Amino acid sequence: MAHNAHKGNGEAQVARKRRFEDLVAGHLDTLYRTALTVTRKREDAEDLVQETLVKAWRSLDSFQEDGNFRGWLIAIMYNAYRDRYRKQKRQPATAPLESDDLYLYEGAAEGESLGGGNPEDSALTEELSDPVLKAIQGLSPGFREPLLLVDLEGFTYQEAAEILGLLQGTVMSRLHRARKRLGRQLAEYVAGDSAERRPPARKRADPQQVLARRRGIDCGEACRHLHAYVDGRLDEGDARKIEDHLSTCRRCCDRLEFERRQRALMVAHHLGMTVPRSLLRRFTHLITQF
């Protein structure tokens, strides 16, 4: 009887390991990219991923089957990252903030010099020398974290708010300001990259139609809602107003094209950061230790 019970427990443990491995395998790239963006150093990123996996394994039974496993993992990672600095009793250095930004969370370490003697370190140096990634890393943590979660990893505003422990409105506000800052820094880069992609000039509309449509919203209001329009979170009526304005305003069309191109570039460059072989080996070894 005891032998059968022991056998049953062993099979259950094997099944639990297999389930955990299957769940994590599809998100290891997200974990690594997030950890690297937060820590800015490969070794620290791998340590943070490993710590996250250990904590996730211990808490696996608390995960709801119908929940968002990727969001659950990232939330564990952020908590582990913050706990690490609380235990070390030190304040991570951050980029200087403007006077109106002093309320922002500043709990993320700015990395030390990158690079090393092996090919993976050299690849990392090249990745973070990329102008797009460098601009993202130059943001203060309070701006960088919402941008990472929403624009680069595809979490919703609400999911990002839950992960960061913030109000959804705070996430949206910081994200808007992060995008504006990146837009200023990447203006020449995005414009140069998209020069050949510029759409042909629109046919001039009837002046009476132009006046009628522009009575809806002006350029200032269109610009204020441009991010929401790109995100697809405007209701049908407001989206139609934006589209009517865009059909007659080349300047705002250019801004929209710039916003979309900047977003696409950031995602492409971010997703280009691949999981190193050393982390894959760690993951395989870790599973055997559980």
Report the chain's terminal Cα–Cα distance, integer Å.
26
Mean pLDDT of 101-119: 37
Q: Could you give the domains of the chain?
A: 2-191+268-289 (1.20.140.160), 198-267 (no CATH)
Strand segments, DSSP code E, in the chain are: none
Chain segment 230-280, per-residue pLDDT in tens: 888 888 888 888 888 888 888 888 888 888 888 888 999 888 888 999 999
3-state secondary structure 188-223: HHHHHHCHHHCCCCCCCCCHHHHHHHHCCCCHHHHH
Q: Which two tokens stand for residue 42?
A: 């490969």
- Work out the number of other CB atoms within 10 angstroms of the CB of residue 83: 12
Given a contact cutoff of 8 angstroms between Cβ atoms, the answer to whether 48 and 69 are in contact is: no
Please tell me which residue, 13 or 216, carries the higher pLDDT value.
13
Predicted TM-score (pTM) of this structure: 0.73
Mean pLDDT of 198-217: 52
What sign does the CA torsion over 24, 25, 26, 31 have? positive
Q: Closest by alpha carbon to 226, among 207, 206, 247, 246? A: 246
Given a contact cutoff of 8 angstroms between Cβ atoms, the answer to whether 186 and 135 are in contact is: yes
Segment of 56-70, 101-115, 197-211 carrying the highest mean pLDDT: 56-70
Give percent of the chain with pLDDT exceeding 70.
73
